[in-house]
Structure 1
Amino acid sequence: MIPTRGYAATDPKTPLGPFDFKRRDPRPNDVLIEVLHCGVCHSDIHQARDEWGGSIFPMVPGHEVVGTVTSVGADVSRWRVGETVGVGVFVDSCRKCEACLAGEEQYCLEGMTVTYNGLERDGKTPTYGGYSERIVVDESYLLRIPDGIPLDGAAPLLCAGITTYSPIRHFGGDQARDAAVLGLGGLGHMGVKFLKAMGARVTVLSHSPGKQDDALRLGADDFVATADDDVFEKNAGRFDFILDTVSASHDYNAYLRLLRRDGTMVIVGLPDPSTLEPGALINKRRRLAGSVIGGIRETQEMLDFCAEHGIASDIETIRIQDVNEAYERTMRSDVRYRFVIDLASLREGEC
């Protein structure tokens, strides 16, 4: 067993703090990784505070992990010591169901093994995430970080990036003439970058007028403040595709009516349930869909796309000792647009 330091939530009410635990020794197909950077995802906060239920404590969060291979198991063929790799939202799956065989491990019929706050395939060993100095992962569930992407800016791509890239590709948003991104946060800012790189005319829809300058800086062609009284009437039937990244409750029906005939709105946030009026779909053969992350193959495709187009997440780098403040700031939307932990702070400083 490998002694490991990290930061953990010990219960839903206590701030995260130093935590010593043990990683397994690498099995024949495992890779040992020194963690360099780990993104702070909004879902880390929900799970550390048990806001979704089912949290497993103590919990070491973090599923946007970038690091360096420091050793490999005897049967590892894909990776070498010194390579830079990524670990995303899951670290294993059943490998035999229809979804896994199709390269869609995130939809594993037996359930994917999440990087933290889950159990390994034995059903009893807890998984611990990237707020730590090292992690051990099966070689089949690692990703290659291409040259040209800043390593800290690459970390959020492993969740925020693929969460937006996958539905754009799957539901044809990359073919849209006029696309909209609803919400400009950790997910939304990546949606703007991807859609723009794919050739769409991109509009940001936001209830916060103060985000207009940022939206245009990120590449958006237009900005619509949704708090304006007549905005939905003025923009009815305007868009081919809407990427809905908002995690707060909102009226799906109003936004669906911004789609033209055969348009698609894809939900990637997790708001509270909202009433859906069938007429918002039926009248113009619109579609409302959902999506969650992507498989290993598609996530690698996304990383390669980012390298080709010069895309990375907009980040603010923090020390791990400041993670609790980062949680509070994230809840206030006081970050542009993702916090990333520099794990050197764990190795070099006092915890």
Structure 2
Amino acid sequence: MVDSHFVLKVPENLDPAAAAPLLCAGITTWSPLAHWKVGKGHKVGVVGLGGLGHMAVKFAVALGAEVTLFTTSPSKVEDGKRLGAHRVVISKDAKAMEAEANRFDFILDAVSAEHDINAYLALLRQDGHMVLVGLPEKPMSVGAFALVGKRRSLAGSAIGGIQETQEMLDFCGKHNITADIERIRIDEVNEAYERVLRSDVKYRFVIDMATLPKAA
């Protein structure tokens, strides 16, 4: 028996394997976009192109926002555009970053590695919001003037509840959105783990449970 309050309906048009990460990376990025009412006419920045970032790009584009991807890797420019980003900025390029100052209504930071968030706070407009969904190990330093001067806000977000998750799944069904995945066998798990450590996955691994050894 399953408590119906905790049951989710996955739209039939979505591939189950590609829909599986929606319950993690999907809702993690959907929740702040929905909470801060991101939509048509908004200029949105997405920091980092990984499991979370690639979903944030897809959602923000589908919501009607103008989306700019920020990445340290020039090799990810084309993939960012393939996913729907209207613009891609290499964040290691100081001049390119300066050109983006005071431009964005909303920035979603999906990076878990140590990085300078002040560089992105400076890109927000007056009353703009920056939300962290990545979890760097070390505490981050925040310059008060970057927030106070233009009444910017910095917040964090985790996942969402059942109702919000169902709303996200319904949106995905309507817009045919799933995660980009690599399906692997159970005997490939160790190799996949090593690839995750090298950031060598686009963008989520999904284990095919049918490959589990049958009980004797």
**TM-score, normalised on structure 2?**
0.96
Q: Describe the SS at the equivalent of 1:199.
A: coil
Indicate which of 328, 331, 346 corresponds to 2:197.
Answer: 331
Which residue matches 1:242? 107
Q: Which amino acid aligns with 2:39?
A: D
Q: Describe the SS at the equivalent of 2:212.
A: helix
Which residue matches 2:180? 314
Q: Which amino acid aligns with 1:196?
A: V
Q: CA deviation at 1:349?
A: 9.3
Q: Which amino acid aligns with 1:249?
A: E
**Conservation of the 8 A alpha-carbon contact between 1:176 and 1:241:** no
Structure 1: stretches of 5+ with no match in the other structure: 1-29, 32-137
Which residue matches 2:132? 267
Measure the CA separation in 1 of the matches of 2:80 and 2:24.
Answer: 21
**Residues 347, 222 of structure 1: CA spacing in aligned structure 2 closer, same or farther, 3 A cutoff?**
same
Measure the CA separation in 2 of the matches of 1:156 and 1:170.
Answer: 20
Q: Describe the SS at the equivalent of 1:144.
A: coil
Q: Describe the SS at the equivalent of 1:301.
A: helix
Of Structure 1 and Structure 2, the greater helix share is in 2
Which residue matches 1:38? none
Q: Which amino acid aligns with 1:266?
A: V
The question of 1:281 aligning with 2:150 is answered no
Which residue matches 1:302? 168
Q: Which protein shows a greater Rg?
A: 1
Q: Which amino acid aligns with 1:331?
A: L
Q: Which amino acid aligns with 2:166?
A: Q
Q: Describe the SS at the equivalent of 1:340.
A: strand
The question of 1:346 aligning with 2:180 is answered no
Give the paired residue count: 215
Written as runs of structure 1 = structure 2, the 5 A alignment for 1:173-212 is 173-174=38-39, 177-212=42-77
Q: CA deviation at 1:175?
A: 5.1
- Looking at both structures, which has the greater relative contact order when contacts are Cα pairs under 8 Å and sequence separation is at least 6? 2
Measure the CA separation in 2 of the matches of 1:176 and 1:266.
Answer: 19
Q: Describe the SS at the equivalent of 1:339.
A: strand
Measure the CA separation in 2 of the matches of 1:139 and 1:317.
Answer: 29
**TM-score, normalised on structure 1?**
0.59
Written as runs of structure 1 = structure 2, the 5 A alignment for 1:80-159 is 138-159=3-24
**Conservation of the 8 A alpha-carbon contact between 2:101 and 2:124:** yes
Q: What do the CA deviations read for 1:135-165 (whole angstroms, capped 9, x no partner)?
A: xxx4322211111010000000000000000
Measure the CA separation in 2 of the matches of 1:194 and 1:303.
Answer: 11
Q: CA deviation at 1:295?
A: 0.1
Which residue matches 1:228? 93
**Conservation of the 8 A alpha-carbon contact between 1:176 and 1:240:** no
Runs of 4+ in structure 1 over 4 Å off: 347-350
**Residues 175, 264 of structure 1: CA spacing in aligned structure 2 closer, same or farther, 3 A cutoff?**
farther
**Conservation of the 8 A alpha-carbon contact between 2:58 and 2:177:** yes
